[in-house]
């Protein structure tokens, strides 16, 4: 029996509205809650991501350990070329480091510098 259920993944960032807009467009989700320092987007069911404002936010440096990523999102896509073009148009940056040569998955940085992967499903 589970002790808890997954609620929300929360990402620290300097501008919650901007980062929520990025992920909302990338995932096709809608904002479900918004304040100046906190925005939540969701799929209309149980999946959701929130963005929390941090005044002295510094993005993770990956790969590296001075400011480690601590976690990242793996997002499934059907066509990685199409998904990459759309993610870049939204403000993502393709990371210089591509483990595995970009086969099967590719690493990007969101507008606040969090690493995430687009993975062929």
- Asked if the domains at 1-57 and 59-121 fall in one CATH topology, the answer is yes
Question: What's the whole-number average pLDDT of the chain?
Answer: 93
pLDDT band, residue 95 (cuts 50/70/90): very high
pTM for the model stands at 0.89
Ordered by start, the domain boundaries in the chain are: 1-57, 59-121
Q: Is the pLDDT confidence value at 102 over 80?
A: no
Residue 4: what pLDDT? 66
On whether the 1-57 domain is CATH 3.10.180.10, my answer is yes
Give 16-36 pLDDT, tens digit per residue.
Answer: 999 999 999 999 999 999 999
**Domain at 59-121, CATH homologous superfamily:** 2,3-Dihydroxybiphenyl 1,2-Dioxygenase, domain 1 (3.10.180.10)
Please give, one letter per residue, the 3-state secondary structure of the chain.
CCCCCCCCEEEEECCHHHHHHHHHHHHCCEEEEEECCEEEEECCCCCEEEEEECCCCCCCCCCCCCCCCCCCEEEEECCHHHHHHHHHHHCCEECCCCHHHHCCEEEEECCCCCEEEEEEC
With tokens 């440096």, the residue in question is 61
């Amino acid at each position: 029996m589970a002790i808890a259920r997954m609620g929300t993944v929360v990402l620290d960032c300097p501008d919650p509205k901007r980062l929520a807009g990025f992920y909302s467009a990338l995932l096709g989700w809608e904002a479900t809650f918004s304040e100046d320092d906190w925005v939540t987007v969701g799929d209309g069911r149980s999946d959701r991501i929130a963005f929390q404002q941090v005044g002295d936010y510094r993005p993770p440096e990956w790969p590296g350990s001075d400011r480690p990523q601590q976690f990242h999102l793996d997002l499934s896509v059907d066509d990685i070329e199409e998904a990459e073009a759309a993610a870049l148009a939204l403000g993502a940056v393709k990371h210089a480091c591509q483990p595995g040569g970009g086969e099967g998955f590719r690493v990007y940085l969101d507008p606040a510098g969090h690493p995430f992967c687009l993975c062929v499903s």
